[in-house]
Amino acid sequence: MSTKENYELAKKAYEKWGINVDEVIETLKNISISVHCWQGDDIGGFEVNPKELSGGISVTGNYPGKATTPEELRADLEKALSLIPGKHRVNLHAIYAETNGEVVERDQLEPKHFENWVKWAKENGLGLDYNPTLFSHPKADDGLTLSHPNEEIREFWINHCIGSRKIGEYFGKELGTPALTNIWIPDGYKDIPSDRLTPRKRLKESLDKIFAVDVDERFNLDAVESKVFGIGSESYVVGSHEFYLNYAMKNEKLCLLDTGHYHPTETVSNKISSMLLFSEKLALHVSRPVRWDSDHVVILDDELKEIALEIVRNDALDRVIIGLDFFDASINRVAAWTIGTRNMIKALLYAMLVPNEYLKQLQEEGNFTERLALMEEFKTYPFGAVWDFYCEKMGAPVKESWLEEVKAYEQEVLLKR
């Protein structure tokens, strides 16, 4: 049978439960995922004097074809985005500035250093998001940045973050969609600290200075991102979940939850409903930790489905900003983007094809038997047929046919670098 015929059969199965599949597809078309640029070059960036990765970040693997220029990275992104249904966004770090061979320190970066990215985004109908880069730099070598006891080093990073917010504002003005500018720092200690409070006081003061500079919220949204531990900060992280949750609430900033930044038994899906009760918007970095914050490519596992279900069943598709954050240099990088982003969209589709309101009703009535039975049965409902039809409708490859395009691109482009 054709993709369309399979779709029509699937529709009938879902319509029995009052699910309008055509409406679901129209909704899905308008959801944008923020695709992280750093999967394409192993977080190398384009600084004139590049630094080795630091801040507890590690990329393993040496698969051929890594992007080494902005043009290569943008071409690879274009290829990946052509294989992913829908219109999406691209998330940049400060180290992806283009300075035409001139050494420009991070606290001196300006919108002009991202003009090529904005031009490219306009040509491709994309939004852009942004992150200051507070790692892989001599002024972050001892593992401290915005909480550093040295005032001069703190000021350097404060100015970098202020400039980053202005760059985000520039993106929003130029592209007609607000940029999410997210601050993550690696600050912490390897061994048990004798004073946990003072570094956090300095971080709070630094953030206060950063956000005291007026930036138009119509064009830039500010977010702060926590972490439970990192390599080199195993015993103490200054910017903990509790710190940033309180800071974001008090200062009306977005709290960004990274799925790899919590203890192994914690799940971000379980946090979403609580966050939505007290925040107008919430931001996510979706990754896949394996034993630690190892940022594996996102797969369609139970936690990804549960994250999507929490967003959909709580009517929060317009309140949760979804970005991705993984990097794997052991596989084809274009394939990594394609697999991870398609899976995020698949999870949202899966969540929209569940009779969420009826399941809520069953829970309120205490009918846990039927609730469990239906939640399990819907796992094998034909959502794959709906996904295939959606891909075809959006001009994206159906099923695994995208892999042939990636293989051809590898032979024609990546292996010749």
Which positions are catalytic?
Answer: 184, 225, 227, 258, 261, 285, 293, 295, 325
- Within 8 A by CB and 6+ apart from 349, the residues are 24, 28, 383, 386, 387, 390
The crossing angle, in degrees rounded to 10, of helices 383-393 and 333-352 is 120
* ∠ CA 75-81-83, rounded to 5°: 115
Helices (H), 176-319: 197-212, 241-251, 269-278, 302-313
Q: Which helix (H) or strand (E) holds 413?
A: none
- What phi and psi values does residue 89 have, to the nearest 5 degrees? -125, 165
3-state helix, strand, coil in the chain (%, to 5): 50, 15, 40
Three-state DSSP state, 189: strand
* ∠ CA 91-93-94, rounded to 5°: 140
* ∠ CA 140-141-147, rounded to 5°: 40
Length, in residues, of the chain? 417
